[in-house]
Chain A
């Protein structure tokens, strides 16, 4: 029996030290040196140095004068975040979407974009498809009494166009830029 026990126990101990301690420590060391910003959570600070969030994590935005993030099944909780996990056939899904689309619809602008009425997988989706951001322009322009073209420019400046993925715009970046606009 000892011929199995000793190698089993010593190898699990050794692998623990190697893959469970040395490996993550080494990666942390290199990451902190080479990619300090990302390794610490892509944090955003304001001018006073206060932490205002992470560029990767969605924030809730209430009020007509802000670009709104996608709805979150977990109400933007971060520990831990949640998804709706509603089946396509679940009547609750249709009910929720019917209610939300009624609230969000802007007369004369056509159907509400899918992203604005569906909750994301993470509950913390930081982005919006470009069309979903553009759909909000007229509402924000009216609430802030500014020109819609300026908002369109902001969206364009913040749009990411990766080769292998859809065009999206980061909502927090967009609203930070919006906050700096002259009223």
Chain B
């Protein structure tokens, strides 16, 4: 491995992990309304928001009101974004005169951004106005991430409070998450990206005369501000169609490093936020260890696999090295492989290389990361609440093995919670296997497949997994902009988002109401190496095993057929 790849790996892990303890504590203080160094600046804005919205910040909500508030807010956002996308032709800031989107595409895109998926069935520079990008998509980039954060802190409160009927106030959590949690980091990253070469202008596209006298239209726009939140909010919807592979979206190895670290920065910090809620940072370290094991494993497999020569190209008069098909020269194989794993470990879905052209196993890892529900750091908020569900399942399974009522941090897990947990386990199989199989069975639907053989199945599999897991990356050869896929993937995205959020909030409400039983000698410790191993195995078995048969038919079959060359 080249020395620059080693340095990149070191820099990446340092940027993700070193700020996490500090940033995690900051998020805890912000979400609990404590004063921070940003308060003098942001508190007036925060107070104005509550007054303007008619919200009493002191009044807490029970889990049902919290859920209804969340749904109302998401629905209002969906309607607004859908309207903007349909009407962009008559709205301002449209120098290229883009017409409104076709309705299934508008609906797919609106659902995609409200659910923090940011699946791109459109190409930004060819079909969206600057208004749609910044006022439409940009806003959902912020508030969908803040929604995930709100659900997570509601669950943290549910676990840490005793005999409480309430989980906090959704309006307050949303406002604080956006103002303190996302906006300041975005300002920093956006300016860094402009410095590196990302455009930030309202100019129309410019016509250049190339060196050889050809015509070239240079697409521009207020890109940096949007790309910053796209990375930090684990959104992933690119300003440009080819996302962070596009040189205007990700011009240098340095912009690449910071964009990549930004994917996991907040999710890693939130693991510590959880530790502050439950007043036990050992829990954070155990969860973080499990996440790191899975992340490092994934990076190892993908990197190794991408560096191998493609057997199908053997015998040609070309350098027999890892393939650069779909990868950028300035990133090379190392940074492309690392990004692919990071973006699917989290629910980001931004890409700096085309996953469709990855080696079979290099493409399997991103798929697997999404199938287990993106709990390896995961999306802002969404990753950790997904991981905590696995923690509860692991605790439940341990309880079964030793024949005791399972308990987590002094909260007994009873029939109601376990039923809700099982419900969340059904979400990924339903979206991937049921909707995917339906699609594979219909000739007009699988006409969208662009690669022959086993890889064709992988394309359907990857894209329906990406939708359900709210990731948004894709095997891009697949023609997803058809009415069928627009509506079907929109359904998968809604299922994947709210199929988790509703049970999570119900579990949070039910845990909050419980008394805390003293943690005694017989309690199963949920920190330390034993629990980390059990948790890791639970994720691999409970999360991954469901998909083993279909993975065997897709990427594994492709890998074996390549080896046979």
Contacts and interface: CB of A to CB of B under 8 A. Distances in A.
Contacts of B208: 43, 51-54
A91 B11 contact: no
A50 B209 contact: yes
Contacts of A158: none
Interface stretch (B185-193, B372-380, B389-397, B486-494): B185-193
B119 to A, nearest CB: 16
Nearest to A170: B330
Contacts of B546: none
B325 interface: yes
A89 interface: yes
Contacts of B354: 83-85, 121
Given A31-B194, A53-B210, A59-B212, A162 B254 contact: yes
A151 interface: no
A11 B174 contact: yes
Contacts of B319: 111-114
B332 A165 contact: yes
B328 A56 contact: no
A112 to B, nearest CB: 5
B84 to A, nearest CB: 9
Given A6-B54, A28-B200, A88-B359, A59 B328 contact: no
Contact of B245 (A83, A118, A127): A83
Given A8-B76, A39-B201, A54-B218, A122 B245 contact: yes
Given A57-B248, A60-B214, A165-B330, A27 B135 contact: no
A12 B257 CA distance: 32
A96 B73 CA distance: 50
B69 A165 contact: no
B453 A89 contact: yes
A21 B248 CA distance: 22
Nearest to A100: B318
Interface in B99-156: 123-126, 134-136, 138-139, 141-143
A4 B251 CA distance: 43
B220 A89 contact: no
Contacts of A52: 208-211
Interface size classification for chain A: 35 or more
Interface string A17-61: 011110110111011101100111111000000111110111111
A41 B220 contact: yes
B313 A94 contact: yes
A122 B248 CA distance: 10
B17 to A, nearest CB: 17
B211 A79 contact: no
Interface in B180-205: 183, 186-187, 190-191, 194-203, 205
A10 interface: yes
Interface in A87-107: 87-91, 93-94, 97-98, 101-102, 105
B321 A114 contact: yes
B80 interface: yes
A143 interface: no
B186 A39 contact: no
B191 A179 contact: no
A89 B454 contact: yes
B68 interface: yes
Contact of B317 (A30, A102, A122): A102
B369 interface: no
A125 B455 contact: no
24 contacts: A11-B53, A14-B49, A15-B178, A16-B139, A18-B183, A19-B142, A38-B198, A41-B199, A41-B206, A57-B216, A60-B212, A80-B126, A84-B357, A87-B477, A88-B312, A90-B455, A117-B318, A120-B324, A121-B354, A122-B245, A163-B4, A165-B8, A166-B4, A166-B329
Given A51-B207, A83-B476, 11 more contacts: A7-B55, A16-B80, A39-B194, A39-B201, A59-B210, A61-B211, A89-B455, A120-B328, A121-B351, A132-B329, A164-B7
Interface of B: 2, 4, 7-8, 11, 45, 49, 52-55, 68-69, 72-73, 75-77, 80, 123-126, 134-136, 138-139, 141-143, 171, 174-175, 178-179, 183, 186-187, 190-191, 194-203, 205-212, 214, 216-220, 222, 224-226, 229, 240-242, 245-248, 251-254, 256-257, 310, 312-313, 316-332, 335-336, 351-354, 356-360, 450-455, 458, 475-477, 558, 561-562
